[in-house]
Chains A and B, each alone.
Chain A
Amino acid sequence: MRYGLYLGCNMPAIRPDVERAMRLALPILGIELVDLEGYACCPAFGTFPSADEIASLAISSWNLSIAEEKGVDVVVQCGSCYSSLRMARAKLLKDEEKRERVNELLGIAGKKFEGKPCTRHLIDVLYNEVGTEKISQVIKKNLKGLKAVVQYPCHTRFPSEVLGFDNPGRPRMLKEIVEALGAEVQHYSRELQCCGGSGGFARQAYQDAVKFTKKKYDAMKNETQPDMIVVNCITCLMYMDKIQKDLSKEGEEFSIPVFDYAQILALCMGFDPKEVASISVIPRDKIIEKITGAMS
């Protein structure tokens, strides 16, 4: 299995420990990662897609053309990168006029888009290509005795016609790959509520976004006893971690450690927590100690 590793902008700049976790853990599962040298922003929906559609499609196809040159599909963790790259490809394959215009633009840079490479989300690759059995087999430590809740990235669910791989209304793949590490995954009523961190909402009306997210955390606290939240999207990771500090200002304390899936996977494989899980707002030391101390 060879995939072009598309990191996006946030991960290599703000949470590079997740990048390190992916680079270390995925090859153990038989996933060979190929760097997409010279890739740019996907582009994020708040940038060129909000200003000029052709420019936006040109940037997406710039990125996809790099994978095309290398003959690989793309694997991505960030939800909005996944959605942006995937929607752009679908639009370009459907619309010959746009494809021609985009190829004229790419031609200026000596590139070409044919639309061969498919963009896959990491959850999809782990569940459907690697499989839960293999994950359980290769790990050296496990999460037995730990309770987790999971956060499905919205951008991997909708629109399911273009980018779905799991059941959009009742997703289960992230839960199952977390269970493959030995954790108990608990369900709560607002499990599928968007974290609220992406796009303009939290930027333009932060206090309103905090209220929205508080409903989610209240439900989580009342209905489950999570030792950790497991996500697989860089925005979910940063937002669900950081916001707990602001939620706690209103009295009740929220301090549930948040991990990206690649991070707990890498920890279960025995990699150094200082490299794969060192950046967070809510301290994660206790959980990391439990994992690194646990024997498989």
Chain B
Amino acid sequence: MIDLTKANHHLWKEIMEEDAGDIRRCFNCGTCVSGCPAAEAETPLMIRRLVRMVLLGLEEKLLEDGTPWMCVTCTACEEMCPMGVKPFEVGLAIRRWQTRKDETYIPLSTTEVFQTGHTQPVEKVGELRRSLGLPEIPPTIAKFTELLKKFQAMLRETEIVKNNDYMFKE
């Protein structure tokens, strides 16, 4: 049984941003779920369910729900929604709210992008690249140390890095 007297009725205002459309228009038709690859998982991503949780203010349940992170980012849901809600953006907004509430949600890949500029070690495959006739290091931020420092200085001023600076190492 859900006890709505303990619900946070302002939750939707805390989570939702303009880019996600107006989730109060959602009438739970399920179109977003019908075309969603991750809805086929054993523990499915049910975006319409997440929208209900936000609207009902079920803060605790939502905070421990890992399914927003299952999204394949194909964005088909956004194309299909008949009510102009952007379920893909809703999922991202929930992820961001979760990371603000609980730092264990912060994807480690953000720290990698901070540290190297990339999600993959583009500067560590020199031999392979040379064998294909390519320069050993591609012309990315990985090649320009000075730029990487500026990039990190810029990100040091963002909320996520400021609030969790122990995680972001140069």
**A residues with CB within 8 A of B:** 7, 9-10, 12-14, 16-17, 19-20, 23, 35-41, 43-55, 58-59, 62, 80, 83, 91, 95, 105-106, 108-110, 154-155, 157-160, 168, 193-194, 196-202, 204-205, 208-209, 211-212, 274-276, 278
- Total residues of chain B contacting the partner, CB 8 A: 63
Beta-carbon contact of A157 and B72 below 8 Å? no
- Chain B residues contacting A51 (CB-CB under 8 Å) are 95-96, 99, 106-107, 110, 160
Closest residue to B158 on the A side, CB-wise? Answer: A55
Closest 4 CB pairs of A and B: A154-B74, A52-B160, A13-B120, A55-B158
B76-110 contacts to A (CB < 8 Å): 76, 78-79, 86, 88, 92, 95-96, 99, 106-107, 109-110
Contact in complex: B117, A41 (CB < 8 Å): yes
Residues of A within 8 A of B138 (CB): 7, 12, 16, 19
Contact A49 B92 (CB under 8 A): yes
CB pairs A–B below 8 angstroms (15 shown): A14-B125, A41-B113, A46-B107, A47-B119, A48-B160, A49-B92, A51-B99, A52-B160, A55-B158, A95-B18, A108-B154, A155-B73, A200-B70, A208-B40, A275-B133
Q: Which residues of A contact B41 (CB under 8 A)?
A: 201, 204-205, 208-209, 212
Q: Tell me the complex Cα distance, A196–B66, Å.
A: 18
Find out whether the CB atom of B107 lies under 8 angstroms from the CB atom of A50.
Answer: yes
Chain B nearest Cβ from A123, distance in angstroms: 16
Residue of B40, B86, B128, B144 near A211 (CB, 8 A) is: B40
Instruction: Knowing A37-B139, A154-B76, say if A200 contacts B96 (CB, 8 Å).
Output: no
In the complex, identify which listed stretch (B2-10, B48-56, B57-65, B145-153) lies at the interface while the others stay far away. Answer: B145-153
Cβ-defined partner of B92 (8 Å) among A36, A45, A159: A45
B119→A41 contact, CB < 8 A: yes
Interchain CA distance A10-B121 in the complex, whole Å:
9
**Complex contact A196–B37 (CB within 8 A):** yes
Instruction: Knowing that A37-B144, A38-B140 touch, tell me 10 more A-B residue pairs with CB under 8 angstroms.
Output: A7-B138, A19-B138, A38-B144, A50-B95, A51-B99, A62-B154, A159-B75, A200-B72, A205-B38, A274-B132
Interface membership of B122, Cβ < 8 A: yes
Known contacts being A52-B158, A155-B73, A275-B133, is A109 close to B78, with CB within 8 Å? no
CA distance A19 to B119 in the complex (A): 17
How far, in whole Å, are A50 and B73 apart by their CA atoms in the complex?
11
Which of chain B's residues have a CB closer than 8 A to the CB of A36? 139
Residue among A20, A41, A55, A105 making CB contact with B133, cutoff 8 Å: A20
Q: Which residues of B contact A53 (CB under 8 A)?
A: 17, 92, 96
Contacts of B139 in A (CB 8 A): 35-39
**Quick check: B42 and A16 within 8 Å, CB to CB?**
no
> Smallest distance from the beta carbon of A147 to chain B beta carbons, Å?
26
Q: Are B70 and A40 in contact (CB under 8 A)?
A: no
